[in-house]
């Protein structure tokens, strides 16, 4: 009877440890693919004929493409600037993407038109010490209310 109880308790402990590690753990390196629905609010100024500049912010929700995992159903917040000179449109900004548990990844991003690169500049919680980068592409605006969608991938490493 004691041996059966010991085996049962050991199995329960292993299950609990595995569940906690799975919830907290993230592979030391890999890729995260996600898409984000955004509400964009900004201002565009006409600096000269054919030359625009602007700034704004976007808030939204991130959805891991696998339907669960890192950055799934977490907050997404960005600020940006852009300049449009004779059909060239460089843009620059900073974002914070998170999980529902409050852990965050911070990014410095740049692009031209509707595509560019995210570069990780920091993280909190399970993302502390994270480094890496990856591409993004966007589509929008969708409708007249400032909605956008971006598709993103990060190739990352943890310490």
Summarize pLDDT for 61-94 with one digit per residue, the tens. 999 999 999 999 999 999 999 998 877 889 999 9
Domain ranges of the chain: 29-157
Quote the pLDDT of residue 17.
33
Pick the CATH number of 29-157 from 3.40.50.1100, 2.40.350.10, 2.60.120.10, 3.30.450.20: 2.40.350.10
Residue with tokens 């509707």: 114
Q: CA-CA distance, 40 to 9, in Å (whole number)?
A: 52
Quote the pLDDT of residue 57.
95
Other CB atoms within a 10 A radius of the CB of residue 70 amount to 24
């Amino acid at each position: 009877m004691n041996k059966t109880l010991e085996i049962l308790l050991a199995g329960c402990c292993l299950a609990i440890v595995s569940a906690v590690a799975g919830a907290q753990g993230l592979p030391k390196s890999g890729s995260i693919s996600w898409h984000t629905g955004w509400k964009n609010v900004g201002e565009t100024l006409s600096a000269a004929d054919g030359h625009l500049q602007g700034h704004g912010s976007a808030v939204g929700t991130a959805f891991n493409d696998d339907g669960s995992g890192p950055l799934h159903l977490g907050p997404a917040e960005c600020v940006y600037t852009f300049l449009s000179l004779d059909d060239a449109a460089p843009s620059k900004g900073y974002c914070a993407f998170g999980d529902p548990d409050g852990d965050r990844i911070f990014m410095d991003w740049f692009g031209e038109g509707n595509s560019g690169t995210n570069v990780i500049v920091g993280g909190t919680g399970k993302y502390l010490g994270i480094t890496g980068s990856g591409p993004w592409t966007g589509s929008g605006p969708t409708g007249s209310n400032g909605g956008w969608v971006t598709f993103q991938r990060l190739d990352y490493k943890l310490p």
